[in-house]
Amino acid sequence: MMEQQTVFEEYRKEVYRIAWRIQYKAKVVRKRECSFIGFEPATTSFTSSSDNKIVVRQLINDLPSNTGRTIIYKIYIQDKTEGEVARELNMSQQGVNKWKRKMIQELSRMMSS
């Protein structure tokens, strides 16, 4: 039982790291694309891209909390910052961060079961 909890904690930490890396890389790419006005970025396969979007949206829609769903959608799909989301939802940035962490943990739990 204890070994299983340790493995789960390591898995959870790795999912958090991956989520932060994805968010960071998306911001870097967005900044790069904005700096090359008129540059057409290379596109990925339409099929794989649309399949990924469908899976991500299904996972988000399965989240139990409407507030959490909204926050995850705005941060990861609409690519907004925590501050922007906080202003839109009339909450503090720390509150948005707390919801985001809880929903990432829930997504991790959903994927592991």
pLDDT of residue 34: 55
pTM of the complete model beyond 0.75: no
Please write the tens of the pLDDT for every residue from 59-109.
888 888 899 999 988 988 888 899 999 999 999 999 999 999 998 888 888
The structure tokens 């790291």 sit at 17
> What is the Cα–Cα distance from 111 to 59, expressed in whole angstroms?
9
Q: For residue 31, is pLDDT > 60?
A: yes
pLDDT of residue 99: 92
pLDDT of residue 29: 65
pLDDT of residue 38: 46
CA dihedral 108, 111, 9, 65 (to 10 degrees): 30
**Which domains are present in the chain?**
10-36+51-112 (1.10.10)
Q: For residue 40, is pLDDT > 50?
A: no
